[in-house]
Amino acid sequence: MNMKKSEWVLLAVTLCWGASYLLLKVALGAVNEFMLIGLRFGFAFLVSAVFLFPRLRKATWKTVKYAALQGGLLFAIGISVTFGLKTTTTANASFLISLTVIFVPILSALFLRQRMKPQLKAGIAFAIAGIGLMTLKIPLSMQPGDLLCILAALLNATYVLFTSKAAKSVDSINLGVLQLAFAGGYGLLFATMAGQATLPATSDGWAALLALSVIGTAFCYIAQPAAQKHTTPSRVGLIFTMEPVFAALFGFLLAGELLKSQGYAGAALVLTGVLVSEYGSKWYAALRKKRLPTAAAEVASLNERTHGGGA
């Protein structure tokens, strides 16, 4: 898998996460936070293991250790988001969690010594401005839930960086599958300790939970490590800024939710950010190539006039 193909896979992952918001709403109405994480990741692991069991048998202890750490990060991200939503608005939570796109390059620069290219910086600026237009409302306020969502964004950025490292040293498919088992196990353990180990009581709750497990978890968290090793953490973070755009699209198609003009402007800015990051250097090179002959012709014309005037 080359860099282009891997980034298309990551875009598909982002599309699925955008679609999962509606499923998450229904599932949260049927089961508590700890059990949601436990069942979501647990079912995702079982579905994945059925198809990949021969490969899983070859998993190394190093892979298991990495998976245990990544599963812990996934569990922590899920807890921060679900409990954060109790004391903040969905709009604020969406924006704050999307700060992952800022934390990834910052952490990459601090710990991995990776420099950001100019087009990536410009793309991030466009994307953050777009997310702000799509999700923020005036007046702004800081609630405990806001702090939890900022923590979720920081944890998510850490997960992206950790995955980039781990996926290059172990089997990325086995890593993706086993991390689901650990995340689900942590969720079920905490649900049991809190006396909240209950199952959904409605068919809609079960349907949403199973769809969330397969589409928004099994595919996404297995495909992400496999694709991520072929691109940079900063570009992964930028691609993930498309999530609120896809969430808005599915909200319109499936629930009839409409964006305000501010939201559509924000979506356009996010798309612009992705395009600038992807093609900015090519556009700049093409523009320079186009301007060079014109500049050369102007210099030649000036020299001709100068020499002509001297004669």
- Residue 179 is predicted with a pLDDT of 94
- Residue 190 is predicted with a pLDDT of 95
- Residue 311 is predicted with a pLDDT of 43
Q: Is 308 inside any structural domain?
A: no
Q: Is 31 inside any structural domain?
A: yes
Q: Is 296 inside any structural domain?
A: no
Structural domain boundaries enclosing 153:
3-286
Q: Kindly report the pTM of this predicted structure.
A: 0.74
Q: Is 299 inside any structural domain?
A: no
- Residue 267 is predicted with a pLDDT of 72
- Cα gap 96→92, rounded to integer Å: 6
- Residue 262 is predicted with a pLDDT of 76
Q: Output the CA torsion sign for 87, 90, 94, 95.
A: negative
Q: Tell me how many domains the chain contains.
A: 1
Q: Is 302 inside any structural domain?
A: no
Q: Is 46 inside any structural domain?
A: yes
- With contact defined as beta carbons under 8 Å apart, do 148 and 84 qualify? yes
Q: Is 304 inside any structural domain?
A: no
Which helix (H) or strand (E) segment holds residue 69: the answer is helix 61-84
| pLDDT tens per residue across all 311 residues of the chain | 677 788 888 888 888 877 777 787 788 888 888 999 999 999 999 999 998 899 999 999 999 999 999 999 999 998 998 888 777 766 667 667 777 877 887 888 788 777 777 877 887 788 788 777 766 666 766 678 888 888 998 999 899 889 888 888 898 889 989 999 999 999 999 999 999 888 988 888 899 899 989 988 888 878 877 787 777 776 777 787 777 777 777 777 776 766 677 777 877 887 787 777 766 767 667 767 766 666 555 556 666 666 655 44
- Cα gap 207→175, rounded to integer Å: 27
Q: Which two tokens stand for residue 125?
A: 């600026």
Cis peptide before 54 (omega within 30 of 0): no
Q: Is 300 inside any structural domain?
A: no
